[in-house]
């Protein structure tokens, strides 16, 4: 299916494969980002229902969802995006900054190995698609709070793509996927205040269309979204951003994942894309 943007161009969605982890052990037991407050209880029943609704949304849109078994004692394992980066069927594992999450890296690497993917253990600290964003012809790599800038060399060596480093400067947006979402060919949505001047300039040079999220939408993690090139699954509370997306020819698909925001997460945090090839509808047109 296609949808036309304001210029008459057609946006076509592309079927994707996602890996997700059920929130069986999800909780806020420690604080490693400004969103986390162990004193604020999680409604585990509601979290499970919101996770299922997110999974069902992906399948309704025509995507394939695979699951990894959660591990007791790893409450943040539900945030599958942090578990690895997969491009062209190759996998770079994650190495977490904080010891509370360290064991997640091995759990995800083991899943990929069992399922026949050539998986590489990382040398540098990197938190998977939390900070590493595939943009078709380049890889965007966030740093400043979690991922080490040195991961750029590993990414270039493994995936054979140039890497553009982006520095995050607002601790609320501790991962790149909380401040930016590549939407489609040549189009990105971002919160400019999350980046330093050089990174904002780099984004402007890379993407002909840059949708700037307002404060109120960034502050509900509205940019922690998943795009298939047409549909954009985003937090339901980011109504202003949804309207901006629609104005640019995308079809916003709001979901309520408010329980996961208590840990600094949203739809993208819960979703790791398994890319079998490097070809993508997100690649900018020649």
pLDDT tens column, 151-172: 999 999 999 999 999 999 999 9
The per-residue pLDDT for 20 is 99
* Class of the CATH-defined domain 14-273: alpha beta
**With 90 as the cut, is the pLDDT of residue 279 above it?**
no
Task: Give residue-wise pLDDT tens across range 77-117.
Answer: 999 999 999 999 999 999 999 999 999 999 999 999 999 99
What is the per-residue pLDDT for 284?
Answer: 38
Say yes or no to pLDDT of 256 above 80: yes
Burial (CB count within 10 angstroms: exposed 0-12, middle 13-18, buried 19+), residue 156: middle
Which pLDDT value is given to residue 277?
79
Give catalytic residues, as residue numbers: 175, 269
Q: How far is the C-alpha of 230 from the C-alpha of 246, rounded, in Å?
A: 10
Instruction: Say if residue 125's pLDDT is above 70.
Output: yes
Cα–Cα distance for residue pair 144/154, rounded to 1 Å? 18
What would the pLDDT profile of 185-222 be if each residue is shown by its tens digit?
899 999 999 999 999 999 999 999 999 999 999 999 99
pLDDT tens-digit readout, 30-70: 999 999 999 999 999 999 999 999 999 999 999 999 999 99
């Amino acid at each position: 299916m296609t949808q036309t943007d304001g210029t008459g161009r057609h946006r076509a969605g592309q079927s994707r494969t996602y890996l997700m982890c059920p929130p069986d052990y999800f909780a806020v037991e420690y604080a490693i980002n400004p969103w986390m407050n162990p004193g604020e209880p999680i409604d585990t029943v509601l979290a499970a229902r919101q996770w299922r609704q997110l999974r069902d949304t992906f399948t309704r849109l025509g995507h394939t969802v695979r699951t990894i078994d959660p591990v007791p004692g790893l409450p943040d394992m539900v945030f599958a995006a942090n578990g690895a980066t997969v491009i062209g069927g190759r996998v770079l594992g994650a190495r977490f900054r904080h010891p509370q999450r360290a064991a997640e890296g091995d759990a995800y690497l083991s899943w990929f190995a069992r399922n026949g993917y050539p998986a590489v253990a990382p040398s540098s600290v990197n938190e998977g698609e939390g900070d590493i964003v595939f943009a078709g012809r380049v890889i965007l790599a966030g740093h400043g709070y979690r991922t080490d800038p040195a991961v750029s060399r590993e990414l270039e060596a493994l995936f054979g793509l140039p890497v553009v480093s982006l520095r995050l400067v607002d601790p609320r947006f501790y991962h790149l996927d909380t401040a930016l979402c590549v939407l489609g060919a040549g189009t990105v949505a971002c919160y400019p205040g999350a980046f330093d001047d050089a990174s904002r300039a780099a984004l402007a040079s890379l993407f002909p269309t840059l949708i700037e999220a307002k404060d109120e939408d960034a502050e509900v993690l509205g940019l922690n979204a998943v795009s298939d090139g047409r549909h954009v699954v985003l937090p339901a509370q980011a109504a202003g951003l949804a309207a901006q997306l629609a104005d640019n020819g995308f079809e916003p698909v709001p979901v309520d994942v408010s329980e996961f925001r208590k840990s600094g997460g949203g739809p993208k945090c819960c979703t790791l894309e398994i890319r079998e090839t490097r070809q993508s509808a997100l690649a900018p047109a020649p």
